[in-house]
């Protein structure tokens, strides 16, 4: 079995991680963002070409105003603070999801990060923000005039994104939560017990190792 080149992660468990430590939820999200950065560097070392992380879903707006506003502020800070460093490391950043209803200043920062890193080729980092798999399919269907699956793909948020070889979800939960529903049709799934802030390099390597032990048949025998 070959190694995974395209990996998607549902970074679940930030809130529970904070709760168990008696910390505000936003501190769990900050710890989780640090882990995204660390595992991104590991991904480069491990030969991964595309990494997609779920940072904020279309359903997450239903959370408390305090948590949502904290997440929005943190996202803006991280984009400004970390884009230059990721650019230096050859990472191309792309944000996938609906931009309507998102603070215009945050959208400008997202667009700036995408433009700044557009020419990089070492690794592509797709950040699913204000993203829902069903929303993506509905949005694509609005402009789709008919034809093949490949033609439909061109209407998705990031037509150039490869279907993930592997989808990892942390925190012990075993569901897709409306994530990359079109793209993950044939992805291998690994559910890790660690909460996302505790998902270290060893846990990442275990998940990648589990993928390598599987035989992908894509409907064949």
Catalytic residues: 12, 60
Strand order of the β-sheet with 166-169 is 91-96, 123-131, 50-57, 6-10, 166-169, 188-191
DSSP state of 155: T
CA distance 8 to 165: 8
Rg of the chain on CA atoms, in Å: 17
DSSP state of 158: -
Give me the count of residues in the chain: 221
DSSP string, 77-110: HHHHHHHHHHHHTTEEEEEES--TTS-HHHHHHH
Side-chain-facing half-sphere of 107: CA atoms under 13 Å: 9
Residue 168, number of CB atoms within 10 A of its CB: 28
Judge residue 202's burial from the number of C-beta atoms within 10 Å of its C-beta, 0-12 exposed, 13-18 middle, 19 or more buried: exposed
């Amino acid at each position: 079995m070959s190694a995974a080149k395209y990996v998607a992660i549902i970074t679940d468990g930030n809130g529970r991680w904070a709760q168990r430590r008696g910390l505000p939820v936003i501190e769990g999200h900050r710890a989780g963002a640090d882990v995204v950065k660390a595992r991104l560097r590991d991904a480069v070392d491990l030969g991964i070409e595309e990494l997609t992380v779920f940072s904020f879903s279309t359903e997450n707006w239903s959370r408390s105003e305090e948590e949502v506003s904290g997440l929005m502020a943190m996202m803006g800070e991280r984009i400004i603070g970390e884009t230059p460093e990721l650019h230096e490391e050859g990472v191309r950043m792309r944000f996938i999801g609906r931009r309507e209803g998102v603070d215009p200043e945050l959208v400008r920062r997202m667009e700036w990060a995408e433009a700044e890193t557009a020419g990089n080729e070492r690794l592509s980092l797709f950040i699913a923000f204000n993203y829902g798999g069903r929303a993506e399919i509905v949005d694509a269907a609005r402009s789709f005039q008919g034809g093949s699956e490949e033609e439909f793909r061109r209407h998705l948020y990031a037509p150039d994104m490869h279907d993930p070889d592997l989808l990892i979800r942390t925190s012990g939960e075993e569901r897709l939560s409306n994530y990359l529903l079109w793209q993950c049709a044939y992805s291998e799934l690994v559910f890790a017990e660690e909460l996302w802030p505790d998902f270290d390099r060893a846990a990442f390597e275990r998940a990648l190792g589990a993928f390598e032990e599987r035989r992908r048949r894509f409907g064949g025998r």
